[in-house]
Structure 1
């Protein structure tokens, strides 16, 4: 009888010990290690499920925006190949270029590197997913997304956080972005239509603007501007000089490309256009130039603050977009801000 009780006691102790261990593994181990065991799955912007058996240790990036995000997530050391447009932060220049861009990339180098994960913008899947299928058949997970679209950037950050096993860092970045989105929205949400200045947004060539259905239009709405081309039938129309003159914008915002002249000269060229000399924006000196890098990824808060302050200087008098840009550059990239990204 005593022997039987002893055996039962030993079995009970063993059962309790095993249960405690299993509960510890279930609830505590993922937190301590920071990496969850078992398959992880996210859905990219094309609606494709992307699955890894464990967080990616090696990555090839064919998207400059996602390259920046991977560095901001503290995982830049995992990048083993990049496209030629991925040049920020400077450390990425030490990584080999495996493709000039994401459109029809040569696959030999990528297949040779065999990363756990390849990330790209939507140009990669132009060919009905043939490139994607080739990579996936070789055992390379492919994640496709856009970092210059406000609707996607936070989703992209969250998904990369999962794929890289750094969800906490991803949430930190998302919270940073949302804090400035809330500042903008809180100050413009109650504006009447009559209180929203007329804005002409020009992209990378003369008279190329934005209408409903475009990213630029959404951003103008978000910061409390009234887009003069909102109702045109295509998202990225080419308008006539006469159209802009007739709409008489109060604010002109122009995207600066690398091949454009420097900021002051580009601004002066716009103000010297015959069709624009009589519009309110030129007469009042409200012509502004920005680097498109300000409107993507982690740097997006600095961009929307620039636009918001240009359009509503009185509402954002206390906001310094350059200071925010400096803060995020140091916080997420460990870099002191250099260069000009918005003018004047």
Structure 2
């Protein structure tokens, strides 16, 4: 009996320190968890997912069309640690026409993490050094894979939309605000949104009193849409025309619902409309034969029969879609188109000067003159069609 008691006493003597060690370790884990919780926060992304991100986010990557453009607008390009193939010459265009990329050529030198349009490579992402703390992903609802990418990399994925400047403006604003919240730069996100609001209001104010009789019919052709297209390619809800209340002959083709609907117009239909003034998206001017809008205008008998072509009323504007919409180009084009359609309402505007002012605010540097050189200075110019 005494021996049993002595054995039990010794066992308990050994067990008590072990229990204390386990207790201390458990308390340490609790404290550690509390510390981690204090260093993180939860945000709601565009997919209505609750995403836990670090309290301070200094290193990110941007996946998906236009994602890096939005980040540059927020002046956070110095936090990018890698880029997709679009930033390394992977787009199907021979001339760069993204103002943010022109203003920040240093982005090309960053490591590669995947292909453009959101085709990420988890292995490349996991191997990045320094490692990103957050992955921003535009068009997340369409492209999917946010949860899968998080599972494969262990890096929080914040799903975003992209939106546009007209019917999906709320989606654009919300995406900017979410990025600003994650990065701790909400004030800059608000400033960008206010800047867009101010430009739109200025354009609408200028044309408000233009009489219907002084509004010529017009058409924009050669718009890119997931690749380049010829002069038949247009946007019935082309944002510059919307801001200017222009008489867009293709406007009746606009589809109900969300998004700027893309359309391909037959030559016969365009001849029937016979718009008074034509605009060419100059992205089309560098495409191969059969898709080159400029060459079509110069050589196709159907287009040559248009009154605007005969009278020399064809003008070049900067690329609208280039790895999705160039918002700075859209506003810049709106001022040039406004001055072309309603010169009296824009008498105080030099379109190229205004374009560079927009680029400087959004991207931190000018870009349009450099882009124009790559397109033979067709932007904001009357196009000669012999």
TM-score by length of 2: 0.67
Q: Does 1:279 align with 2:298?
A: no
Shift of the 184–331 alpha-carbon distance from structure 1 to 2, 3 Å rule, reads closer
Deviations 1:130-184 (A, max 9, x none): x211123324222322265541444333332222111222222233332221110
Residue-pair matches, total: 299
Q: Does 1:230 align with 2:216?
A: no
Counterpart of 1:136 in structure 2 is 150
Q: Which has the higher contact order (CA 8 A, sep 6+)?
A: 2
Counterpart of 2:370 in structure 1 is 339
Contact kept? 2:82, 2:111, Cα under 8 Å:
yes
Aligned with 1:315: secondary structure?
helix
Question: What CA RMSD, in Å, does the superposition of the two structures yield over aligned residues?
Answer: 3.2
Contact kept? 1:188, 1:224, Cα under 8 Å:
yes
Deviations 1:227-276 (A, max 9, x none): 212223753222211110110112222223377169xx964642543222
Q: Does 1:288 align with 2:315?
A: yes
Shift of the 43–132 alpha-carbon distance from structure 1 to 2, 3 Å rule, reads closer
Contact kept? 1:65, 1:147, Cα under 8 Å:
no
Contact kept? 1:63, 1:86, Cα under 8 Å:
no
> C-alpha separation between the residues in 2 aligned to 1:258 and 1:54?
45
One of 148, 161, 184 as aligned partner of 2:203: 184
Q: Does 1:121 align with 2:138?
A: yes
Counterpart of 1:19 in structure 2 is none
Query: What residue ranges of structure 1 are gaps of 5+ in the alignment?
Result: 1-35
Counterpart of 1:15 in structure 2 is none
Counterpart of 2:68 in structure 1 is 67
Query: What residue ranges of structure 2 are gaps of 5+ in the alignment?
Result: 1-37, 89-100, 256-260, 373-378, 382-386
Deviations 1:95-119 (A, max 9, x none): 1121121243322212333522222
Aligned with 1:257: secondary structure?
helix
Counterpart of 2:337 in structure 1 is 307
Counterpart of 2:80 in structure 1 is 79
Counterpart of 1:91 in structure 2 is 106
Shift of the 86–51 alpha-carbon distance from structure 1 to 2, 3 Å rule, reads farther
> C-alpha separation between the residues in 1 aligned to 2:362 and 2:266?
42
> C-alpha separation between the residues in 2 aligned to 1:259 and 1:118?
35
In terms of Rg, which structure is larger? 2
Counterpart of 1:210 in structure 2 is 235
